[in-house]
Homo-oligomer: A and B are copies of this chain.
Amino acid sequence: MTTILTTIAEAREALVDPRTNGTIALVPTMGALHEGHLSLVRLANEHADSVVVSIFVNPTQFGPGEDFDRYPRTFDEDVALLEGAGVDAVFAPAVDEMYPKGLDQTLVTGGPASRILEGAHRPGHFDGALTIVHKLVSIIEPDLAVFGEKDAQQLFLVRAMVDDLNLRTAIVGAPINREDDGLARSSRNRYLSAADRELALHLSAALRAADGAADADAARQIGRECLDGDGIVLDYFELVDPSTFLPVEGAHTGTALAVLAARVGTTRLIDNQLLMLGVSTAVN
């Protein structure tokens, strides 16, 4: 039986016993759940005695003109899925419960890696995301929190926040969950028309095409060319060092994380993949 908690006081009270008797994992979500979220829940269940999933469409991580209002809200279906997945509690507060004084309040702001890529294209996005993650961690006080690797920059910045502010929650990353044809699962895939859904396959294809390139410059060129087509507007295709999330030099070889964002029709999607560069896989 999954308990629904809607206030901070209720959540703290409900978690006293689970905390005394074991470990707690938090899976923060914005709802509109799909198989990708359920894979995070399974990972959380493996690592902790109790699993709490938060469902909160956080206004402070959406910019003006972004899709806050039309973001899919499917609460009843979400709860049914979480019941089936053996989740102990859902924390689903109202906006006023999380931001009682309004949205312009104390914020958590990331370091240099928060100001590039997604941070450059969505100003304020990471301030909002880090702030709500911090609030959820303060309220639930989980032993660990699980985040998807699809939002690679967010995951990097959440780990940095935990380190930098000396928080006590361990951060666990979960592999990207993909459809059979390679499309990374995302709540925003619901926005795609059938034609856009076809076009969206270019994103994961570009990442696969760039893998094994001679160096970072070659990988960037391959990736960008794959995404230079009708119906797709590329925001960025970049290669970063996974340990700093800063772009690697052009001649870089070895591992690098390829990250991209592109608009397919009116839908903005992101994806990423760890690449191996400049290492011949030919058999002599």
Contacts and interface: CB of A to CB of B under 8 A. Distances in A.
A161 interface: yes
A101 B165 CA distance: 12
Interface in A92-122: 101, 104-112
A250 to B, nearest CB: 25
B166 A135 contact: yes
Contacts of A157: 106
A112 B104 contact: yes
Copies in the complex: 2
B108 A168 contact: no
Interface in A6-61: 8
B106 A164 contact: yes
Contacts of A112: 104
Interface in A147-190: 157, 160-161, 163-168
Contact of A165 (B108, B109, B164, B168): B108
Please tell me the size bucket of the interface on A. Answer: 20 to 34
A140 to B, nearest CB: 10
A130 interface: yes
A193 interface: no
A139 interface: yes
A252 interface: no
A255 interface: no
20 contacts: A8-B166, A105-B111, A105-B164, A106-B109, A106-B130, A106-B157, A106-B161, A106-B163, A106-B164, A106-B165, A107-B108, A107-B109, A107-B111, A108-B108, A108-B165, A109-B127, A131-B165, A135-B165, A138-B166, A138-B168
Contacts of A110: 106
A141 to B, nearest CB: 8
A134 interface: yes
B106 A160 contact: yes
Nearest to A112: B104
Contacts of A139: 166
Contacts of A109: 106-109, 127
Contacts of A164: 101, 105-106, 135
Nearest to A167: B138
A163 B131 CA distance: 12
A189 B131 CA distance: 37
